Amino acid sequence: MPKDAPQLGCADSPILKERGQHEVFCGLTSIVWLHRKMQDAFFLVVGSRTCAHLLQSAAGVMIFAEPRFATAILEETDLAGMADAHEELDRNVSQLLSRRPDIKRLFLVGSCPSEVIKIDLSTVAEKLTEKYSPNVNVINFSGSGIETTFTQGEDACLEAVIRSLPSSEKTQLAVLGALPDIVQDQMMRLLEQLGLENVFVLPQVKFDDDVSIGANTHFICVQPFLGASYEEMVRRGAQPICANFPFGADGTTRWLWAIAERFDVSKAKFDKVVAAPKLRAEQAIAAVASDLRGKSVFFFPDSQLEIPLARFLAAECGMELTEVGSPFIHKSLVYADLADLPATTQISEGQDVDKQLDRVFDYNPDLTVCGLGLANPLESKGLSTKWAIELVFSPIHFYEQAADLASLFARPLKRADLLKVST
Amino acid sequence: MKLSVWTYEGPPHVGAIRVATGMEKVHLVLHAPQGDTYADLLFTMIERRNHRPPVTYTTFQARDLGSDTASLFKSACHDAYNRFKPDLLLVGASCTAELIQDDPGGLAEALDLPIPVVALELPSYQRKENFGADETFFQIVKKLTTPQPRTENISCNLIGPTALGFRHRDDVEELEKVIQNLGIEVNVVAPMGSEPSDIVNLGAAHFNVLMYPETGESACRYLEKSLEQPFTKTVPIGVGALSDFIAEIETITGLTNLQNKVASRLPWYSASVDSTYLTGKRVFIFGDGSHVISAARIAKDEIGFEVVGLGCFNREMARPVRAFGKTLGCEALITEDYLEVEGAISELAPELILGTQMERHIGKRLGIPCAVISAPVHVQDFPARYSPQMGPEGANVIFDTWVHPLVMGLEEHLLTMFREDFEFSDANGPSHHAAHQPTSVQKENRSEEPVPKENSSNVIWMTDAEKELRKIPFFVRGKAKRNTERYAVDHGVIEISIDTLYEAKAHYAR
Ligand code: SF4
Ligand code: SF4
């Protein structure tokens, strides 16, 4: 570590907790990537026209590719009688399943309207599971904006999936979190090279994949937003492995090492496995990071990826952190990354967007990471921005993506230099 | 409940945001959960606005449910007023807040703010985006307008443009030019571009130009009744409609000889021999009611297409669209379900689709060229360049936009004559339009791939007939195939031969 490195350790510094207007997506948005990952699943949102409109706005052009999600839009008559709502849902589901016989898992996704009028989707799910078993398993979770923020939708979904899994005493490793296929394959190769057997990923790609959990299941999260799933695993007796999240060369190494330690892999073997990809990642990052070194960055809350990503930008790319905002902070999950942040970093949880905007103008950072509702307005005021949703949709984990991750942040800065006409 | 993947319109509060975002010095406080802030990105991304929409969302959470949400709403109003100092506050509820019954109007009233407050009723479970915009603007007008002395010179207001409107920005500019050319002053343009003090001033105009019935009709009717301002009924999209529109203005104002003051290139372009090949091309039209009616008229009377189907997604316009459809001998399709639209299009197999972003994708899937005439639209239909739909320049833009995706005259003939030429295969689509190759047709066209033999009515294509069918240019092949099969079924033919193909062709000859 260089001598002039800032003093590290944010784990115990005070967190600024704010309550005001939140400028974030609701959990329904997670469906946009979850449905691609779970190939035999259909996501049926029980909600309003707003929910349907949100999904099509967030899914963009994907909406035209026969997606495996839809909204059962509540109408006037559904608000009046609950019994009718259940019947209506029954009718919609049978229509859907007869049109899509390939569906093995049906997720009934709760929304704000369905939660507020208290449609009991979990009971409906149980009844429907009885009705359609063994062909279709019906599971309920909520992606409502009153309960979940953006990536928490994946957490709620995964929590419900875990709850439905059978028990077993097998010694095994579960990796929690949906990843792009190519990244998942890289991860599995590394774990295999470390000599691990019985590794599986949740959510599982196919319902038929044979997975179970119990006291000899060790698990690790690949995403920081899986707090509820983490707790559900613990409740099922599984044993957590906690580490930095696998962003960058160092993050990936520490994440892998935590697993290796748990499974008694020798240091020598570990070093042998990671040496080449680690070096590759370090060199690739170095090429990109020269554009980032010494630049300041500000994170608006969005996906809960903010703390691990801030760690990566500060520790591996030499950026300076101003404020790092996160919609929620599950300390047990992000402890390691939090502890590695420079002590001067302002950590904030929750949001009052107008006050936070005042702060971003005070800091006047070189780069601001924020949502699409804020990005162009901030650009027009002279701030360079990186829109945050891309960080959820792009392959950014593990060694081979480390430089791509750094480029996502470097590109807006480079672009600002390139453009010779002012707005 | 209604199962839905794609919706042509958002919920009504999005319509309210469109009005607020179009205006200045107006702020909207919306009682809504956190996820509903997604609507902001429609404005900052699709329309590329450089400001946040002037909307404060209360973003209540589950733990606030109960009495807390009401105080949350009040403090949000208070903070919004103090921070943004608007001249007018709008308050309303999104679908979820409608269910918790906090009464935004009453709560805001109780705050006793020193500015007018308009409470919006936005019935989310019955109505949609266009209603939300129309209603919001109507309520603003109702609250603020007062009788004013008329301007000395003849003047009018332009009513209906909003944020996120299809080509509203340039339609306003174009129509202002047209109106000023006629020697008439533009008093106020609203809602887009206006502030509350301008709304107070609406009454000074002699009449109103209703640009977009979907978003401005209620306000125009109200102004007609309360301030005796007549309003124009024709939307000036297309050369004929523009002339009718000017005739209306002559009647309203008593001015004469206004007609020859505007000119478009469309009539000459359309008359020139290069355009002869456009004659009778079969076109299907879908979108919002008023753009569909305008487009159908241009298609038929100004370009010489045959309108084979039309429809709209907004029920508010069902009546006029049906009536207009009748004059063309088409039964209008009024639906919000894009699958129905897709069904109608594949049944009719038109040569060109005029529609929304959704129809663009349907066209892509079916290998049919398409041009966009109506919202909802994607980012590329908020172009940097000047591209109105209204007025003389609008007609020029429309001519270019619609003709562009079609195979051009000479090329059409060459494709038919030399379809065996491997470098000049019709599978490549229009040579000037490589980006929008009809991919599905391409596949169907590769010679190893047979035309699908099976179809719903179980007639069988014999190999020769199938080969012959593939010689027919791709843009009419779908139609030919369908007609032949229908002919075969109607005449009890089970195996389609080359003869059947040509008998059907003769039968359906137009
Ligand atoms: S038409 Fe082209 S630009 Fe528009 S959404 Fe489809 S792919 Fe994107
Ligand atoms: S915040 Fe609630 S009402 Fe809004 S889209 Fe999300 S689930 Fe639907």
pLDDT at B420: 57
Q: What is the DSSP string of A265-280?
A: --HHHHHHHHHHHHHH
Closest Cα in chain B to A51? B36
- The dotted CATH code for A172-278 is 3.40.50.1980
Asked if residue A219 has pLDDT above 80, the reply is: yes
ipTM of the complex as predicted: 0.92
- pLDDT category at B447 given cuts 50, 70, 90 is very low
Q: How many angstroms is it from A359 CA to the middle of ligand 2?
A: 28
Asked if residue A5 has pLDDT above 60, the reply is: no
Residue B294: phi and psi, rounded to 5, are: -60, -45
pLDDT at B61: 92
pLDDT at B97: 94
User: Is A54 within 8 Å of B36 when comparing Cβ atoms?
Assistant: yes
Helix, strand, or coil (residue B46): helix
State pLDDT tens for residues B471-502. 777 667 777 888 898 899 988 888 999 889 88
State pLDDT tens for residues B194-252. 999 999 999 999 999 999 999 999 999 999 999 999 999 999 999 999 999 999 999 99
- pLDDT category at B438 given cuts 50, 70, 90 is very low
Out of B87, B112, B170, B274, the active site residue is B274
Tell whether B125 lies on the interface with A, counting CB pairs under 8 A. yes
Q: Measure CB to CB from residue A72 to each of B1, B11, B39 and give the nearest one.
A: B1
Contacts of B35 in chain A (CB under 8 A): 24-29, 54, 112, 144-145
CA distance A204 to B47: 39
Residues 361-400 of B with CB under 8 A from A: 361
- Out of B129-138, B164-173, B365-374, B401-410, least confident range: B401-410
Instruction: Calculate how close chain B gets to A204, using CA atoms only, in Å.
Output: 25
CA distance B298 to B191: 28
Contacts of B48 in chain A (CB under 8 A): 376
Average pLDDT over chain A, rounded to an integer: 92
Residues 71-110 of B with CB under 8 A from A: 76, 79, 83, 94-96, 99-100
Instruction: Calculate how close chain B gets to A402, using CA atoms only, in Å.
Output: 28
Q: Is the CB of A54 under 6 A from ligand 2?
A: yes
Q: Show me where the domains of chain A are located.
A: 16-21+286-418, 27-148, 172-278
pLDDT at A330: 92
- Domain A16-21+286-418 annotated CATH 3.40.50.1980: yes
Lining ligand 1 with CB less than 6 A are A 61; B 360, 378, 380
Q: How many angstroms is it from A165 CA to the middle of ligand 2?
A: 28
Closest CA relative to residue B33, chosen from B109, B119, B100, B107: B100
Ligand nearest to the CA of B31: 2
pLDDT at B457: 61
CA distance B451 to B449: 7
Identical topology for domains A16-21+286-418 and A172-278: yes
Ligand nearest to the CA of B30: 2
pLDDT at B472: 77
Burial code of B409-437, b = ≥16 C-beta within 10 A, e = fewer? eebbebbeeebeeeeebbbbbbeebeebe
Residue B308: phi and psi, rounded to 5, are: -100, -10
Give me the percent of chain A exceeding a pLDDT of 90. Answer: 82
Q: Measure CB to CB from residue B44 to each of A54, A375, A423 and give the nearest one.
A: A375
Cis amide bond preceding B54, omega within 30: no
Highest mean pLDDT pick, A4-13, A118-127, B424-433, B475-484: A118-127
For residue A398, what is the DSSP state?
S
- Out of A4-13, A123-132, A363-372, B336-345, least confident range: A4-13
Asked if residue B440 has pLDDT above 90, the reply is: no
- Out of A40-44, A203-207, B133-137, B328-332, least confident range: A203-207
State pLDDT tens for residues B328-376. 999 999 999 999 999 999 999 899 999 999 999 999 888 889 999 999 9
Asked if residue B441 has pLDDT above 60, the reply is: no
Which ranges in B119-212 belong to alpha helices (H)?
129-144, 168-181, 196-200
Tell whether B327 lies on the interface with A, counting CB pairs under 8 A. no
B381 is catalytic: no
CA distance B388 to B176: 12
pLDDT at B146: 94
Average pLDDT value for residue range B399-423: 71
- Out of A94-103, B183-192, B424-433, least confident range: B424-433
pLDDT at A130: 94
Q: Is the CB of A389 under 6 A from ligand 2?
A: no
- pLDDT category at B67 given cuts 50, 70, 90 is confident
User: Is B1 within 8 Å of A149 when comparing Cβ atoms?
Assistant: no
User: Is B95 within 8 Å of A69 when comparing Cβ atoms?
Assistant: no
Other beta carbons less than 10 A from residue A11's beta carbon? 16
Minimum-distance ligand 2 atom for the alpha carbon of B94: 3
Write the CA distances from B11 to B52, B339, B346, integer angstroms.
20, 20, 29
- pLDDT category at B449 given cuts 50, 70, 90 is very low
State pLDDT tens for residues A68-122. 999 999 998 888 776 677 888 999 999 899 988 999 999 999 999 999 999 999 9
Q: Is the CB of B450 under 6 A from ligand 2?
A: no
- pLDDT category at B430 given cuts 50, 70, 90 is low
- Domain A27-148 annotated CATH 3.40.50.1980: yes
- pLDDT category at B277 given cuts 50, 70, 90 is confident
Q: Report the residue among B57, B58, B96, B122 best suited for mutation to probe ligand 2: largest number of ligand atoms under 8 A from its CB.
A: B96
CA distance B80 to B297: 46
Write the CA distances from B201 to B136, B226, B504, integer angstroms.
18, 14, 64
Write the CA distances from A246 to A238, A401, B49, B241, B405, integer angstroms.
21, 10, 36, 63, 48
CA distance A57 to B41: 9
Q: Is the CB of B123 under 6 A from ligand 2?
A: no
The pair of structure tokens assigned to B45 is 């991304």
pLDDT at B124: 95
Q: Report the residue among A61, A62, A63 best suited for mutation to probe ligand 1: largest number of ligand atoms under 8 A from its CB.
A: A61
Q: How many angstroms is it from B383 CA to the middle of ligand 2?
A: 30
- pLDDT category at A314 given cuts 50, 70, 90 is very high
Please count the residue pairs, one from chain A and one from chain B, whose beta carbons lie less than 8 angstroms apart: 173
Write the CA distances from B347 to B441, B481, B493, integer angstroms.
16, 11, 21
For the packed helices A152-163 and A227-235, what is the interaxial angle rounded to 10 degrees? 20
Average pLDDT value for residue range A389-415: 94
pLDDT at B260: 76
Residues B37 and A75 sit within 8 Å (Cβ to Cβ): no
β A239-240/A41-47 pair status: unpaired
Give me the percent of chain B exceeding a pLDDT of 90. Answer: 73
pLDDT at B446: 38
Q: Which residues contact B252 (CB under 8 A, 6 or more apart)?
A: B206, B207, B230, B232
- Out of A28-42, A379-393, B115-129, B430-444, least confident range: B430-444
For residue A6, what is the DSSP state?
P
Average pLDDT value for residue range A122-128: 94
pLDDT at B481: 86
User: Is A25 within 8 Å of B35 when comparing Cβ atoms?
Assistant: yes
What spatial distance separates the first Cα and last Cα of chain A, rounded to whole Å? 42
Write the CA distances from B55 to A49, B74, B123, B125, B365, integer angstroms.
20, 15, 19, 22, 38
Average pLDDT value for residue range B74-97: 96
Average pLDDT value for residue range A41-60: 94
> Atom 5 (ligand 2): residue with closest C-alpha?
A51
